[in-house]
Each structure stands twice: as C-alpha cells, then as structure tokens.
Amino acid sequence: MDDMRKELFYEQKNGYDLIDAKERLELEDYCRGYMDFLNDSRTEREAVKNAIAMAKEQGFTEYEPDMELKPGMKIYRNNRGKALMLAVIGKQDLSQGAVIAGAHVDAPRLDLKQIPMYENDEMCFFRTHYYGGIKKYQWVTIPLELHGVVALKSGEVLDVSIGREADEPKFVITDLLPHLAADQMKKTMKEGITGEGMQILIGSVPYADEGKDRVKLAVLSILKDMYDIDEEDFLSAELTAVPAYDVCEIGLDRSLIGGYGHDDRVCAYAELKAIFDVEDPERTCVCILADKEETGSDGVSGMQSAAFDCFMEDLCQSQGVALRRCYEKSFCLSADVSNAYDPLYPEVSEKRSEAKINYGMGISKFTGARGKSGTSDASAELVAYLRRLFADKSVVWQLCELGKVDQGGGGTIAMFMANRNIDTIDAGVPVLSMHAPFEVVAKFDCYMTYKGVLAAYGDI
Ligand code: MN
Ligand code: MN
C-alpha cells in the first residue's frame, strides 16, 4: 500500500533533504554575493547602476541601435538609469523567440514630497509620500537613510546618499510614547499612523541669528555645504527614505536572510547571475530589471512602457525578423516574489497552496484577486513545460498561490508580458513579511530561483 501511495500521491520535500554538501556550499556562496548586492542597492537607480557594473565585468557592452548582432554577443540597454535590459544573442534568430526573465528593482519606500522641508516648533522635518503598498505603522521608529538624485536647473544631476555608511547620520519618524497613546491605540492599525503623519526628523539646532525658521535654515546650510543645493532644488529631486538596516543572516542556523527590498531585488539578482552564466545559448536570452512595479508598472521605466518593445524591435530588425513573430514564440518567467506561508498567521493561507520556506522556487500559475481578476493565468501546457525542465535540471520548486481565496491578492509584471502575446508565468522567491522595512527570505529558495532562471535560459 505504501508503494501505491508513493506512486499516486504528490508529496513535497524540504529542500534541504534534496541537495548534497557540494550544493550547500554553492548555495552559501551564491547568497553571499546576493547579500552584498542587496546591501548596496537601496533604490532602483542603485540596483541598475550596480547591475551595469557587474554586467560590464562579465563582458556586456552597451547596445547601440543598428549594432550588428552576432551569436554569443552580450549587450545591455539602460532605460534612463531606472530600468535595465540585458541580452545574450542566441544561435537561432529571434523568429524562434527569446527566453525572457523579468524582475523589478523598485521597492516600497518613503519618497520625499517635492517641497518637503519645513520647521515646526524648532524641529525640522521632511514630508513624505509613500511609494508602493506599505503598513505605515511599520515605518516609524526605525532608522532611515536618504537616497536619490537632485537634478539641477543647469542639467547636472547629483547623486545623494546619506546614512548608508556607518559614520553617517540617519533619520527617523517618531511615534507616541505608550504613556500618552491611549487614544492612538484605540485606532485601527491602518489609521494609527497616517500618510501625512509620516514626517522624517532631520534636525534640531537653530542657525545663529534672530530670524524665522532658524532650524530649517541651519539644515539647509548643511545641505548647501554637502551638495551645493538650496530649497528650490528639491522641486526637481527624487529623494527617498529607505530602512537603514544592513542585510544580515537570520537564525542560529543562518539559513535565512533579512533585509530591505528582497521584493524584488532577490529575483533581479537571480536573473543577473543566471544571464551571466549563459554562454552561446540556442535562443536569445533576455533579462529585464523593471521599475514602477510597486505602483502598477506604468510610466517610461515600468513594464507597460514601450521601452522594452523598442529594445526587442531593434534586436529583431537587425535580424530581419518581425517583432510580433518573435513575441509569439517567446517565453517569459515573470520573476517576482511570492508570499511565504507564515505559521504565525495560518488563518490567511490555504496551507497546501502556499509557498513554504525552503521548498524552492515558487511558481504561480495565476495571481490576481477576487476570482482571479487581473491575472494572465499561465496555461497548463506552460506549467507542464516547467515541470519537465526543472526535473531535468534538478531545480527544487513549488506551486503557490497568494493566500486564501478572497483573502486579498496582488499582481506582478506577468500580465503586461502576456498581453504582448508572450507565454508568461510567475516564478520567484517566497518572502516572509513582504513589503515590511525588513523582509526575510530563505537562502535555499534564493539559490533555487537562480537555478530555475538558469534552467530556463539554458533550455533549447
Ligand atoms: Mn514584487
Ligand atoms: Mn511588491
């Protein structure tokens, strides 16, 4: 009878029961690289910058329109410093389609408003407008650092980073002491901290004169010294506050990684490492690091932008192939994180269908909410293709859904790829505390996601 069970039941195994000592070492090695990347990539711009530096080291060169493409060539296209596309040209031309992996490098954060600075009762603050889906109460009383750019009227663009280095100051949003929070504590978690209430403390010492707003003046004079900017320059700045936590190992067994922005830089890194490992592929491999996923993929750097189509059309044209012919034969892994089942909150999950920590790369046939609304829903044939591929290449993976039916839901870039007539499926790393200032992933799943993308790239 047990043989029959073995034959007929679908049983999943903990990933650590499926790999040997050698692979465990590879996994650790891979994750060290990822932790460094995540630590240094606090915004989409920084992720793109770091990815380009890594790509150049791997022999990728910047693509120029009308460049002659030869099999094995490694190219990249920088979309305004906020999104990136890389490709390794295949032996077959693009009429056979491309293998695409698409992740996003933006993450929830607190953007500064365009006129952010003001003084109140001799303390100086930045006002913010949050970006992406956050639980606001998680973002107060944690150390924050400031990243971004200030674009000057002259056209010059200044890079800003304050707080990443150990000797640099950090910032914070304060909260009420429990002693005086009786009224606040009666509010719901959604209402306890408001959007307009998320103001970042940036200074308290007055300028040595007798005019008004002396603290603000003193803070501006510091910024003048550091960056030679004034208050008006904030109008054309993109500055954002992100958690000032270092990426670190979690657990006595060090099996997990804690940090800000795993969603979705963990998949971005997996794609990058995978495309770096590709040599002379049969089909052209494409790696996308997109922006604006957390706000709906709109805009020039989002996945709904024609920037991707332009890049692919350029490649197709140089081979005399119609873009539409390429798309209809292409395959896309929408590489984005999924929710990891959390034993502390079992009530939101249907356990059998949720991704589990250490069970490998999570594949979502569909996303969406309220009866699968807003999903591209990959075909059964596509899932079967991945079953075959991952079995051949020893990729540990699991099928997953985002929570119980009608509990909520969410989307990725998958539908925007599928709408282009590209066969697309969601695949990525399960995350605990997704969208929190400090998210947690399992090293095992990070490594298997890299292996999964590599398997897709390497498949003929
Ligand atoms: Mn995501
Ligand atoms: Mn997200």
Which residue bears the tokens 């490492």? 273
CA of 248 to the centre of ligand 1 (A): 20
Q: Looking at residues 120-124, what average pLDDT do you find?
A: 97
CA of 407 to the centre of ligand 2 (A): 17
* pLDDT at 70 (0 to 100): 95
CA of 31 to the centre of ligand 1 (A): 19
Beta bridge partners of 239: 148
Taking only the tens place, the pLDDT of each residue in 276-305 is 999 999 999 999 999 999 999 999 999 999
CA of 194 to the centre of ligand 2 (A): 21
Q: Looking at residues 105-130, what average pLDDT do you find?
A: 98
CA of 139 to the centre of ligand 2 (A): 16
What are the residue ranges spanned by the domains of the chain?
A: 2-107+260-457, 109-243
Which residue bears the tokens 């600075």? 117
CA of 412 to the centre of ligand 1 (A): 6
Angle between helices 21-40 and 262-276 (to 10 degrees): 120
CA of 433 to the centre of ligand 1 (A): 13
CA of 118 to the centre of ligand 2 (A): 31
Amino acid, res. 106 = D
Beta bridge partners of 77: 85
Task: Copy the structure tokens of residue 456.
Answer: 């897709």
CA of 49 to the centre of ligand 1 (A): 20
CA of 5 to the centre of ligand 1 (A): 37
d(CA 123, CA 141): 16
Judged by its nearest atom, the ligand closest to the C-alpha of residue 107 is 2
- Higher per-residue pLDDT: 367 or 432: 432
* pLDDT at 406 (0 to 100): 86
List the one residue out of 39, 433, 40 whose CA is nearest residue 246. Answer: 39
Query: Burial code of 405-418, b = ≥16 C-beta within 10 A, e = fewer?
Result: eeeebbbbbbbbbb
* pLDDT at 227 (0 to 100): 97
Q: Looking at residues 144-170, what average pLDDT do you find?
A: 97
CA of 380 to the centre of ligand 2 (A): 25
Judged by its nearest atom, the ligand closest to the C-alpha of residue 334 is 1
Helix (H, G, I), strand (E, B) or coil at 37: helix
Amino acid, res. 4 = M
CA of 71 to the centre of ligand 2 (A): 35
Q: Looking at residues 431-449, what average pLDDT do you find?
A: 98
Q: What is the pTM of this model?
A: 0.97
CA of 72 to the centre of ligand 2 (A): 33
Task: Copy the structure tokens of residue 272.
Answer: 């990058």
* pLDDT at 460 (0 to 100): 42
First to last CA, the chain: 40
CA of 193 to the centre of ligand 1 (A): 24
CA of 39 to the centre of ligand 2 (A): 18
CA of 222 to the centre of ligand 1 (A): 36
Judged by its nearest atom, the ligand closest to the C-alpha of residue 412 is 1
CA of 56 to the centre of ligand 2 (A): 28
Q: Answer whether the bond into residue 298 is a cis peptide, omega within 30°.
A: no
CA of 233 to the centre of ligand 2 (A): 30
- Higher per-residue pLDDT: 374 or 132: 132
The helix or strand, by DSSP H or E, that contains position 192, with its residue range, turns out to be helix 189-192
Judged by its nearest atom, the ligand closest to the C-alpha of residue 294 is 2
Judged by its nearest atom, the ligand closest to the C-alpha of residue 132 is 2
Judged by its nearest atom, the ligand closest to the C-alpha of residue 439 is 2
Judged by its nearest atom, the ligand closest to the C-alpha of residue 428 is 1
Taking only the tens place, the pLDDT of each residue in 27-73 is 999 999 999 999 999 999 999 999 999 999 999 999 998 899 999 99
Give phi and psi for 187, each to the nearest 5: -75, 165
Out of 3.40.630.10, 3.10.450.230, 3.30.390.30, 3.40.50.1820, which CATH number does the structure's domain 2-107+260-457 have? Answer: 3.40.630.10
CA of 401 to the centre of ligand 2 (A): 15
8-state DSSP, 13: -
Angle between helices 443-458 and 380-392 (to 10 degrees): 100
Is it the case that residue 459 has pLDDT exceeding 70? no
Q: How far is CA 361 from CA 259, 337, 398, 426, 441, in A?
A: 19, 9, 6, 10, 11
Kindly report the average pLDDT of the chain as a whole number: 96
Q: Looking at residues 382-390, what average pLDDT do you find?
A: 96
Q: What class is the 109-243 domain?
A: mainly beta
Q: What is the CA radius of gyration of the chain?
A: 23
- Weakest-pLDDT range from 52-56, 218-222, 346-350: 346-350
Instruction: Provide the sign of the torsion angle of the four alpha carbons 138, 139, 143, 148, taken in this order.
Output: positive
CA of 267 to the centre of ligand 1 (A): 9
Task: Measure CA 144 to chain center.
Answer: 19
> Confidence band (pLDDT; 50, 70, 90) for 188?
very high
Judged by its nearest atom, the ligand closest to the C-alpha of residue 364 is 1
CA of 294 to the centre of ligand 2 (A): 5
8-state DSSP, 35: H
Kind of pairing, strands 361-364 and 397-399?
Answer: parallel
* pLDDT at 302 (0 to 100): 98
Helix (H, G, I), strand (E, B) or coil at 244: coil
Cβ atoms of 458 and 283 closer than 8 Å: no
8-state DSSP, 225: H
CA of 294 to the centre of ligand 1 (A): 7
